[in-house]
Each structure stands twice: as C-alpha cells, then as structure tokens.
C-alpha cells in the first residue's frame, strides 16, 4: 500500500508534467547539495523546476500523464528531473 507521502509526490509530479514544455532527465552524480541548491535557484528564475525523485514514482507519474513508460526508458540510476514551463532552451543550457 503506497504511503500518503508517495501519493503526494506522484500528484505533485503529475502537476509538473502537465504544463511543461519540456522535461529533461539528468544524472546528478557528483553534484554537492550546494551546487544542486544553486541550480534550483537559477532554474527557478527561468520558470523551471529541478527535482530529485525516486525513479519508480517518476515512472508512475509519467504513466498517469499518458506518457507510457517514457520515464522508465530514461531513468536509470540517480536521476534528477528538470521541468521547463516557459523558456526550455535557457533552462537546458543552465544544466548543461
């Protein structure tokens, strides 16, 4: 039985998937907490959201949004997800 916290996480992910112009899966290995925090701040200025979530919950959310097993194909190992709501190009440049 899923916990209420996991249900809330999936619900929040679905709410991020739906309005996103682009969704990018990244490997965050090697980044410190300070670097992740800095990235999140920069991305927030460009109407984007960067989060680390369990791959299984990400897969469930993508299926609920009608993307099938999209997340499962791209999420292997430590995965962070970038949701771009308006300016996808600038946000993607920030993380790469």
pLDDT digits (tens, 9 = 90+) for 30-68: 999 999 999 999 999 999 999 999 999 999 998 898 887
Please provide the DSSP assignment of 39-89 as one string: HHHHHHTTTEEEEE--HHHHHHHHHHTT-TTHHHHH--SSEEEEEESS-HH
pTM: 0.88
Asked whether the predicted pLDDT for residue 1 surpasses 70, the reply is no
Show the domain range for 10. 4-95
Q: Using CA atoms, how far apart are residues 40 and 91, in angstroms rounded to an integer?
A: 10
Q: Using CA atoms, how far apart are residues 61 and 34, in angstroms rounded to an integer?
A: 27
Asked whether the predicted pLDDT for residue 2 surpasses 90, the reply is no
Q: pLDDT for 12-29, tens place per residue?
A: 999 999 999 999 999 999
Number of domains into which the chain is organized? 1
Grouping H, G, I as helix, E, B as strand and the rest as coil, residue 19 is coil
> What CATH number corresponds to the domain at position 33?
3.30.70.1730
At 69, the pLDDT band (50, 70, 90 cuts) reads: confident
* pLDDT for position 66: 87
Neighbours of 8 (CB within 10 A): 11
């Amino acid at each position: 039985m899923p916990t209420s916290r996991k249900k809330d996480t999936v619900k929040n992910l679905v709410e991020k998937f739906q309005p996103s112009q682009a969704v990018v899966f990244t490997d965050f290995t090697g980044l410190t907490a300070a670097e992740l925090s800095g990235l999140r701040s920069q991305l927030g200025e460009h109407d984007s959201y960067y989060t680390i979530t369990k791959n299984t919950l990400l897969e469930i959310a993508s299926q609920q949004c009608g993307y099938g097993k999209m997340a499962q194909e791209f999420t292997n190992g430590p995965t962070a997800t970038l949701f771009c709501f308006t300016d996808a190009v600038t946000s993607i440049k920030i993380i790469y």
